[in-house]
Amino acid sequence: MAREFSTVGVVGLGTMGAGIVEVFARNGIDVVAVEISEPALERGRATLTGSTDRAVAKGKLAAADRDALHERVHFAVGLDALHSVDLVIEAVPEHLDLKQRIFAELDRVCHPEAILATNTSSLSVTEISVATTRPNQVIGIHFFNPAPVMKLVEVVRTVVTAPEVVADVEALCTRLGKVDVTINDRAGFIANALLFGYLNHAVGMFESHYATREDIDAAMKLGCGLPMGPLALMDLIGLDTAYEILDTMYRRGGRDRRHAPVPLLKQMVTAGLLGRKSGRGFYTYERPGSPVVVPDEATPLAAEAALADGARAIAKVGVVGSGTMATGIIEVFAKAGYEVVSVTRGMEKSATVCEAVKTSLNKGVVRGKLAEADRDAALGRISWSATLDHLADVDLVVEAVVEELSVKKALFASLDEICKPGVVLATTTSSLPVIDVAMATHRPADVVGLHFFNPAPIMPLVEVVRTIRTSPEATATARAVCAALGKTGVVCGDRSGFIVNALLFPYLNDAVKMLEASYSTADDIDHAMKLGCGYPMGPFELLDVVGLDVSLAIQRELYLELREPGFAPAPLLEHLVTAGYLGRKARRGFRDHSHR
């Protein structure tokens, strides 16, 4: 039988600590809430009051329950008030010496059976535990912010944490309505170890002027369905906190350069640009603590002004290819009012593509998302052809053929001869260098990448890839076309993976390495990222959907270009692909899908 905790203590009443107090008090547990001084105590009390009042206003908490919750909380200055609690959770700033001092004092104050827990997100629980005479009763209980809302708790055991202490804490998490994942004491645990490598990479992308902050954030929200973009999330976490976590993980986690804080991060922290809490980070906020972003000197010009910057008029569009992507792109352009010339290799393929477009448009009608008249008008704008010569009078060509450089280069050389001057030639490649394709023509200034996401009619994102030879007019035209299609176009340089894949796949690869090291299970890692970070899918779910062979190919491309040891494909991923375990399409990947 797990022990019953009747009174718990919480040390440190910042956002996190006050949130943990609320979680316990909401679940009928008496709480002793402790701070270092009277003013700090009052701030903590105000944070708790504000949170519970908001919950009442939103109808998520009855006024009587709020009042009962507050009656369960006893506020006190100094650790001596914790002499009779059954469990203490420390939630002070992420400084090891500070935490060690507090634990040494808690060891003296608390009764011998009390469990001492830290909410650290990056420091060694083991190093904290040795400041006490009872390291077997010390454990990590890592809540996620905001604690009353987020479901995940990482329970971190050290090599000496007693099994009954782990069992008692797991039972407590269930009582609190949380999902717990129990793991060993390793830098960053699950969620932060995977999240912060990705966040740091995004900062590096911004630092090198590869893409704007708005485009990086939009790409990850729209391309991956994430609740926030990485730079906005850094502002929310606090750049000082993020720096400390990365620095600790770098030093404790084998000095992986993925976790070495990008220099810009240290500069911003030194300059006091800490994110939302200081009113300025990657973005500028209405006032310190406010979530409302206001324009600043880095805010892009109004969309209309930017799009008018030399964008060419586009009326007629050619789409080359007969696969799923080409079919989706034809539909997108036709629905947006463009005349479309579809070119495939042979009329048989044209008939297949035509049938696929009709089927998709009919589905839109059946679902009530498209009027019959609009469907008929869209189909009326498409002409079907098996010869590239029919692209002689188009204003834009979008190539969506097989991902083989030799095929694309041959096609672009032909387009160069056939198309009139000033036509924008776009490739939908997701992995090949756009410049290689551009140099197959005598007009590299007119060549851009237009990377649509699958399925093109649904996904709102397009990556506009400019090479070092792409003209500003061609880029402006591509952006204007994306806007006319109702898509968000994000502009980036011609580097492997562009924005989305370059940030997404190293994170997935890190998750595979974590599984490979037997640190945690695929289920727990997926739970951690979905419940702790709000991701729509866990990394292993996503890998099985994307296909392990596709994921491995992308990761290899990234590694070959960047030569960063941390980007080397995880051996486990390579072994699964060799064994033919490719994910859902093969009915077996990281999970068995044969019964689904």
Q: Which residue ranges of the chain lie beneath pLDDT 70? A: 302-309, 596
Q: And the tokens for 208?
A: 């090198």
Q: What is the DSSP letter of 592?
A: B
pTM of the complete model: 0.89
* Res 596: pLDDT: 63
* Res 301: pLDDT: 72
**Are 435 and 407 within 8 A, CB to CB?**
no
Picking from 124, 570, 128, the residue whose alpha carbon sits closest to that of residue 116 is: 128
- From residue 276, how far is each of 213, 227, 295, 516 by CA, in Å? 15, 17, 14, 37
**Are 22 and 147 within 8 A, CB to CB?**
yes
Q: Which of 192, 350, 360, 509 is catalytic?
A: 192
Q: In the annotation, is 454 catalytic?
A: no
Q: What is the DSSP string of 262-280?
A: PHHHHHHHHTT--BGGGTB
Q: In the annotation, is 142 catalytic?
A: yes
Q: Which of 119, 121, 124, 509 is catalytic?
A: 121
**Are 434 and 447 within 8 A, CB to CB?**
yes
**Are 322 and 349 within 8 A, CB to CB?**
yes
- From residue 456, how far is each of 32, 324, 325, 333, 360 by CA, in Å? 54, 9, 7, 10, 11
Q: Which of 119, 142, 244, 551 is catalytic?
A: 142
Burial 47-86 (b: 16+ CB within 10 A, else e): bbeebbeebeeeeebeeeebeebeebbebeeebebbeebb
Residues ≥6 apart with Cβ < 8 Å to 36 = 77, 78
Picking from 61, 117, 85, the residue whose alpha carbon sits closest to that of residue 6 is: 85
* Res 73: pLDDT: 97
**Are 275 and 585 within 8 A, CB to CB?**
no
SS3 content of the chain, % helix, strand, coil (to 5): 50, 15, 35
Polymer length of the chain: 596
Kind of pairing between the strands at 382-385 and 396-399: unpaired
CA distance 88 to 94: 17
Question: Which regions of 366-435 does DSSP assign to beta strands (E)?
Answer: 382-385, 396-399, 424-427
Q: What is the pLDDT of residues 440-473, one digit of tens each?
A: 999 999 999 999 998 999 999 999 999 999 999 9
* Res 567: pLDDT: 87
* Res 233: pLDDT: 95
* Res 295: pLDDT: 92
Q: And the tokens for 501?
A: 């894949």
CA distance 77 to 84: 15
**Are 50 and 30 within 8 A, CB to CB?**
no
**Are 314 and 485 within 8 A, CB to CB?**
no
Q: What is the pLDDT of residues 380-406, one digit of tens each?
A: 999 999 999 999 999 999 999 998 999
Q: Which of 35, 90, 154, 541 is catalytic?
A: 154
Peptide bond into 457 cis (omega under 30): no
* Res 228: pLDDT: 94
CA distance 10 to 74: 10
Give me the torsion for CA of 146, 150, 152, 155, rounded to 10°: 30
Peptide bond into 565 cis (omega under 30): no
Helix axes 500-516, 522-533, angle to 10 degrees: 140
Q: What is the pLDDT of residues 524-546, one digit of tens each?
A: 999 999 999 989 999 999 999 99
- In Å, how far from its chain's centre is CA 90? 28
Look up residue 155 and give its amino acid.
V
